[in-house]
Amino acid sequence: MPKYLIKAMILPITGPDDFYPQGEIAIDGDRIVAVGERGSTPSDFVPERVIDLSNHVVMPGLVNTHTHAAMTMLRGYADDMPLMPWLEQKVWPFEAKMTAEDIYWGSALALCEMIRSGTTTMLDMYIMQEETAKAVLEAGTRASLSRGMVGLDMEAGEKSLQEGIELFQKFHNAGEGRLKVLLGPHAPYTCTGEFLQKIKQEAEKLGSGINIHIAETQAEIATIKERYGTTPVKWLESLGLFGGQVVAAHCVYVDDEDMDILKKYNVGIAHNAESNMKLNSGTAPIPQMLAKGLNVSIGTDGTSSNNDLDMFGEMRSASFLQKLIVSPESLKAYDVLEMATTGGAKVLGLDDVGKLAPGYKADLISVDFDQPHFYPRFSIPSHLVYCARGGDVSMVMVDGRILMQDGKLLTLDEQRICAEVEMRAKRIAGEV
């Protein structure tokens, strides 16, 4: 890969006061070697290509910590329903008809959308994840993948667990380390305690993390209370599921004791504001989590419950929702940017992603600020969270490789992917 020197406005997400209105970034291979004001790059660095992005803001790529990528196949298919009827009457019957090829094309469509809107890393949970892995490797993005496991029936659970183990063995650290694999029990209400403990044992053997939905709805809280007499978080602690890397999606209904437990075990939180709003699941207590020192990140969830993968829109919604529920001072713009970049990297255990600094991976995006909705420029973080849209992204780079430039995808055949998904989704819908 060539050596790049990028000239732009630079927001490195290394501190709230760090911003270079006339900045530059030097990149050698897959790493950043220098970030600062124009002219600050060491003189012995000789770029092979200079990219002038004047009037653009360059920032770290966004990290989406909760997705179901291939659910792009269901976009607009099942709307305006509560969670359980949505799953039982619409989503699960549709998914039962999906083939491995359907999963590949749905995942490829999700990656087109994510690259276009500035997401460079995702944490995904779904079925037939080998197909998603193939799509990620072709797209050139970064991803952590988990095979979703439902384990109320032990035979079916064992089969999904074995598939999760095989996924780890085949794809963990693939793509020069861009791919990671976690084990993915779906949720406390869809897995027995015995099954969850077995997953934990296998995760420890593999050295894998765990990705799970927790405390998403009041119905889940009631179910776990009826079955076990406690909350989902306390029950999972009693099973020994926590410890090591655990990513908990949603956590809408958690009390102070639950949050203390999550903090004790350094559980990462994936907040999904728009999905929680659309499904009427509730509002997660994000300011309280942050006050307790929990590591909170942002996810979009799948496109059946959102209906897009635009992390800029998700940041805006996450902030505005807390301002509505708590106070206008909740979730300030820069705090949300941290959640969507450095916070996501921490949740995924990536110690060289999420900020623009020497030694970090060259995962970055540029946002075209030469547009009416970015004037006047009193605050760049404010504009990125409250004004920007995914379509404002003009360039995307991962591992020092340009995946999109001037709004054109370079690694995926977008036209064919859209046509394949349209045809396949309509076929499945007609069969359900």
User: Can you tell me whether residue 228 is helix, strand or coil?
Assistant: helix
Q: Are residues 317 and 247 in the same domain?
A: yes
Same domain, 315 and 388: no
Q: What is the CATH number of the domain that holds 131?
A: 3.20.20.140
Tell whether 427 is covered by a domain. no
Can you give the pLDDT of all 432 residues of the chain as single tens digits? 789 999 999 999 999 999 999 999 999 999 999 999 999 999 999 999 999 999 999 999 999 999 999 999 999 998 998 878 888 999 989 999 999 999 999 999 999 999 999 999 999 999 999 999 999 999 999 999 999 999 998 888 999 999 999 999 999 999 999 999 999 999 999 999 999 999 999 999 999 999 999 999 999 999 999 999 999 999 999 999 999 999 999 999 999 999 999 999 999 999 999 999 999 999 999 999 999 999 999 999 999 999 999 999 999 999 999 999 999 999 999 999 999 999 999 999 999 999 999 999 999 999 999 999 999 999 999 999 999 999 999 999 999 999 999 999 999 999 999 999 999 999 999 987
203 near 243, Cβ under 8 Å? no
Would 284 be classed as within a structural domain?
yes
Best CA proximity match to 381, nearest among 8, 11, 108, 3: 11
Distances in Å between the Cα of 99 and the Cα atoms of 130, 299, 432 are: 12, 26, 14
Q: Is residue 17 part of a domain?
A: yes
Distances 340 to 6, 66, 118 between C-alpha atoms, Å: 22, 11, 11
Same domain, 57 and 73: no
Q: What's the whole-model pTM score?
A: 0.97
Q: Does some domain include residue 421?
A: no
Q: Verify that 250 and 364 share a domain, yes or no.
A: no
Cα radius of gyration rounded to whole Å, the chain: 21
Beta bridge partners of 402: 397
Task: State the CATH number of the domain containing residue 368.
Answer: 2.30.40.10
429 in any annotated domain: no
Distance CA 181, CA 175 (A): 12
Q: For residues 275 and 403, state if they share a domain.
A: no
In a domain, 42, yes or no: yes
Residues 247 and 391 occupy one common structural domain? no
**The total number of structural domains that make up the chain:** 2
Q: Does 235 share its domain with 100?
A: yes
Is the same domain home to 222 and 237? yes
Q: Looking at the domain assignment, is residue 56 inside a domain?
A: yes
Domain that holds residue 170: 62-347
State whether 291 and 325 are in the same domain.
Answer: yes
Question: In terms of domains, do 168 and 85 share one?
Answer: yes
Residue 76 and residue 57 share a domain: no
Asked if the structure places residue 418 within a domain, the reply is no
